[in-house]
Amino acid sequence: MSNNTSRMRTIFRSKTSKALDKMEDPRETLDDSYDQQVKLLQQVRQALAEVATAKKRIDLQGHEMGARYQRLAGQASEALSQGREDLARAALERRSLLERQVANLQQQFASLQKQTEQLEARERQLSEQIAAFRVEKETIKATYTASEAQVRANEAVAGIGATIDDVGTSLERARDRVAQMQARAAATDELLSSGALKDLTAAPDADIERQLAALSAQAEIDRQLQAMKQDETTSASARSGGTRDEGDEWLSIGQGPTSA
């Protein structure tokens, strides 16, 4: 059951990652939109500069025509004062023609002035929109990045959880194997001790020697019990007839039938 759950989690994480990879990254989309707006703002500012240049050129031309207009008026007055009505008439005719040209120039200047005001208003409005869009763009990007990091973190935690489950299962299997191996070791020890399982590494006839050693050990225990009984009788006689020096008793350990 745990292995199935782990596989399901792995499949789910894989599908989730693929789905996220296929999704359009909104951060790139927002940056592209911001760049396009900035380019548009640059175009508006460039157009505004061109209109301002044209308006300045018309303004300079208007000043030149205005100066000529005033000069023609002075020439007509001077010609009339000198009795040259024909020159005065020619100056006034040129002045009238120039006046029409100046009126046309004034219309162009007024049109450029209106266009300048409109472009300036658009430039201010677009600048404010771009500034607001930039703030919102960075906020959305930061939020998306944080959410993306949270998704990755959640996937990592889910992976750790699945790993912990797998580790728990591995530990449980390891405990079972250890218990089985311990039981098997104890069983083989008993079989070796009883001789039912032959130890291939032991010396030849080791089983006979082992049984003889066990018999010898049993015989030694019987002998020590018999010696203890005799010591009880000897101790009773010693209490009535005399005692042996207790300081020399250690010399008799293992030397005679009373070595118990």
* 44-91 pLDDT per residue, tens: 999 999 999 999 999 999 899 899 889 988 998 998 888 898 998 999
Show the tokens assigned to 107. Answer: 């219309």
Q: What average pLDDT score do residues 116-127 get?
A: 91
How much of the chain, in percent, has pLDDT values that exceed 70? 70
Taking alpha carbons only, the member of 66, 63, 68, 85 closest to residue 76 is 85
- Residue 186 located in a structural domain: yes
Q: What average pLDDT score do residues 129-134 get?
A: 91
Question: Of 36-40, 44-48, 224-228, which gets the smallest average pLDDT?
Answer: 224-228
Query: Do residues 199 and 192 lie in contact, with contact meaning Cβ atoms separated by under 8 Å?
Result: yes
Is residue 155 domain-shared with residue 182, that is, in the same domain? Answer: yes
Residue with token string 């939020």: 143
Looking at per-residue pLDDT, the higher value among 80 and 194 belongs to 80
d(CA 218, CA 208): 15
Integer angstrom CA distances of residue 191 from 54, 194, 198, 204: 114, 5, 8, 18
Q: What average pLDDT score do residues 147-156 get?
A: 83
d(CA 54, CA 119): 14
Residue with token string 């291939």: 200
d(CA 210, CA 208): 5
Alpha helix (H) residue ranges in 23-84: 26-81
- Residue 249 located in a structural domain: no
Residue with token string 């007839």: 241
d(CA 113, CA 106): 10
Band the pLDDT of 215: cuts 50, 70, 90.
confident
Is residue 176 domain-shared with residue 75, that is, in the same domain? Answer: yes
Give one DSSP letter per residue of 78-131, joined into a string.
Answer: HHHHTT-HHHHHHHHHHHHHHHHHHHHHHHHHHHHHHHHHHHHHHHHHHHHHHH
Looking at per-residue pLDDT, the higher value among 232 and 256 belongs to 232
Q: Which residues of 104-237 form beta strands (DSSP E)?
A: none
- Residue 179 located in a structural domain: yes
Looking at per-residue pLDDT, the higher value among 136 and 13 belongs to 136
- What integer best gives the mean pLDDT of the chain? 78
Is residue 161 domain-shared with residue 211, that is, in the same domain? Answer: no
- Residue 246 located in a structural domain: no
- For residue 9, give every residue at least 6 positions away whose Cβ sits within 8 Å of its Cβ, in sequence order, or none: 158, 159, 161, 162
For residue 13, give its domain range: 2-192
Is residue 94 domain-shared with residue 214, that is, in the same domain? Answer: no
Is residue 69 domain-shared with residue 139, that is, in the same domain? Answer: yes
- Residue 217 located in a structural domain: yes
Question: Of 78-87, 143-152, 222-231, which gets the smallest average pLDDT?
Answer: 222-231
d(CA 206, CA 52): 118
Q: What average pLDDT score do residues 80-106 get?
A: 90
- Residue 199 located in a structural domain: no
Count: domains in the chain: 2
The overall pTM is greater than 0.75: no
pLDDT at 101 over 70: yes
Is residue 147 domain-shared with residue 215, that is, in the same domain? Answer: no
- Residue 201 located in a structural domain: no
- For residue 92, give every residue at least 6 positions away whose Cβ sits within 8 Å of its Cβ, in sequence order, or none: 72, 76
Residue with token string 């990652």: 17
Q: What average pLDDT score do residues 23-49 get?
A: 88
pLDDT at 181 over 70: yes
Q: What average pLDDT score do residues 99-106 get?
A: 90
Rounded to 5 degrees, φ, ψ at 255 are -100, -15
What is the CATH number for 43? Answer: 1.10.287
